[in-house]
Amino acid sequence: MNRHVTVGLDDSTESHAAAAWAAREAASRGVALRVVHVEEWPITPEIPLTLTEALVERYETLLREAAERARRDHPGLDVTTEMVHGRAGAELTRAADEAEVMALGSRGLGGFVGFLVGSVSLAVVATSSRPVVLVRAEQPGTEAGTTDSGAAGTAEQAAAAGSPPDVVLGLDIAHPSDPLLDFAFGTAARRNLPLRVVHSWSPPASYGYAAILDPEIGTGLGRRAAEGLAELLRPWRSRFPEVRVVEKVVIGPAARELVHASRGVELLVVGRRGRRPALPHLGHVAHAVIHHSAAPVAVVPLA
């Protein structure tokens, strides 16, 4: 099968935002775009033929218009469409496993609450063997740099406000992953954006009283974390010399720091360990980030 980026499409605003993201991603990679709609309604004698035909026509029109927009926005882009019948979670996961990256829309409830991730999107993110990106619709009526609840907004809004967007990677130096690093660096390189790598750490509980009595202990731990991050990124800097990398080591819960870092960025990239087809599962950091990030979130399965 030819290399491609896939988007799962329905008639929601968030889904159309995901389609636009996927078209841009496919164009930047120089691969095809596959637009998929999964129809779950059963085809049975009990459903009037006129209703069945109307639904088919509605979604064929949806797919055709999405393909036309993608070709118009990215001349020369190879776009294919497909309507499949079955369980949405299973069919979209199958489509994601065949793609370089899958894009899905996620409904936002404002910058404070963040994404509302449905069971289908959650299942695909938790079980796909390939990266999955969750994309929010732009929120109308908000000032540049903010959403309707006062949090920072989209990358486009940040750029309009004079703050250039970047790609943010949440990285645990204790569990490095080549697929995760390759996705983040590759995205930054293709989009000609800086890459901000955030590593969050917390001192062991046993250091509590000692750190209070001797602040240098915490300073030493932070210095070692920074040195570990720099060493881990060194070969990737060499592999992607065109990418400007900013390293940031912070003290605190990783989920909180990454949600904060997501404000005004182009894309937030996090990893996911393990694959459990029978029981969709996400680690607490990835779970928190995809529900509360202000930016699109790429969840990359670790090796």
- C-alpha 93/C-alpha 132 separation (Å) is 10
pTM, rounded to two decimals: 0.82
Supply the pLDDT for residue 299.
95
Positions of the chain with pLDDT under 70 = 1, 41-54, 107-118, 138-164, 203-221, 274-281, 303
Supply the pLDDT for residue 106.
81
Rg (CA), the chain: 21
Nearest to 181 by CA among 26, 5, 303: 303
Supply the pLDDT for residue 160.
46
Token digits for 192? 């000609």
Supply the pLDDT for residue 286.
86
Supply the pLDDT for residue 139.
47
Supply the pLDDT for residue 119.
73
Cβ burial of 213 (10 Å; 0-12, 13-18, 19+) is exposed
Helix, strand counts (H, E) of the chain: 10, 12
Supply the pLDDT for residue 48.
60
Supply the pLDDT for residue 46.
57
CA–CA–CA angle 272, 281, 12 (5° rounding): 90
